[in-house]
Amino acid sequence: MGQQRIWIMIALVLDAVVAVVGIIVGPRINMAGLLVAGPLLACARCNGRMTALVAGYALALCGLLATVTGTIRTPMEGYRFGMVAVAGILAVLVAVIRSRRENALIKISERVQHAILRPLPAELGGVAFASHYQSATNQALVGGDLYDIMMTQFGPRFIIGDVKGKGLDAVGWCAAVLAIFRELASGEPDLTELAGKMDARMSREMGIEDFVTVILAEFAPGEVRIVNCGHHPPVRLSAGGGGLQVMTPDRFAPPLGLNPRPARQDITLKPGDRLLFYTDGLVESRNRAGRFFDLGENVATALALPDLDAAVKRVARLLLEHAGGGLADDVLLVVGEPLPAGVIYQT
């Protein structure tokens, strides 16, 4: 159930309780004026249409309460009815204005986020890449997913991560993390030291509860070297088939901003093997039964599709089918596949 529906239910139940109590106590304590609570509560989280529904419900309960208690013809009852009506109108106006402002902020966040997340090359340093960014539902704020890749003297270096929080603040931190990565990735030969330097730079500006989960990856012939700082581990699909293998690090390290001390993980990656990186919106997505998305056989079959772009898009479709078409968080998917020597990837 969406957050808006929950707030509507609370508002409707609250006004219903007020009406029932008013009927029980009778005309000696008139409760009609308290019915403004429902519309005022709804306007804090619901859009104009839903708030109007709650306001109409409150007016109907006001008339019902006056009829049952026998106060419908008294002068004060008209005053109370007018008060509920005016409060409902104001609540609708507040909901409309708030919804428009929130939608404008979401659009701004999306545009800024798309501007800082550069498209991945189809091939870099002998490795083919495909990516897919799946936005969440309109009711959700823009997340803090980030990624980038650059060619260095050490080979292609890749980053994927997720900033704590949502909205413009998270997008701003995405830009800061990517700027630091682009500045330091070409000069630091050791991935663990690169993570440490990034943490030191970011910790100067971060609050005590701020953090960024990241994976730093360096592709080399026959392997990929990974430093994982609090991020969900990637999964590997071998060229020979079989199920997905979760590349869990030997030692857990906290995210950047929390003083991580990660260890480098070397993963064998032969031509034809595929490695899926993702943000938490993939594995933390629930279906209507409350079950998390499973990185199982269906995902393995999708990743095995011959075309890399089709494979990553198929994984995204599986996620949407699992979630019923709407996501609570943005999802970023990136697949890397080493190419045989001399092969040029065709888009």
Residue that wins the pLDDT comparison between 41 and 75: 41
| CATH 3.10.129.10 holds for 120-338 | no
**pTM of structure:** 0.73
Burial of 162 by CB count in 10 Å (0-12 exposed, 13-18 middle, 19+ buried)? buried
CA 263 to chain centre: 28
Residue that wins the pLDDT comparison between 282 and 117: 282
**pLDDT at site 1:** 45
Burial 219-232 (b: 16+ CB within 10 A, else e): bbeeebbbbbbbbb
What confidence tens digit (pLDDT) does each residue in 210-257 have?
A: 899 999 999 999 999 999 999 999 999 998 777 899 999 988 999 998
What confidence tens digit (pLDDT) does each residue in 304-331 have?
A: 999 999 999 999 999 988 888 677 778 8
Residue that wins the pLDDT comparison between 78 and 307: 307
Tell which residue, 67, 71, 91, has the closest CA to residue 79: 71
Does residue 105 have a pLDDT over 80? Answer: no
**pLDDT at site 134:** 81
Between CA 25 and CA 27 the distance in angstroms is 7
Of the candidate ranges 118-132, 199-213, 260-274, the one whose mean pLDDT is the lowest? 199-213
Tokens of 29: 């304590």
Tell which residue, 196, 142, 194, 192, has the closest CA to residue 169: 142
Mean pLDDT, the chain, whole residue set = 86
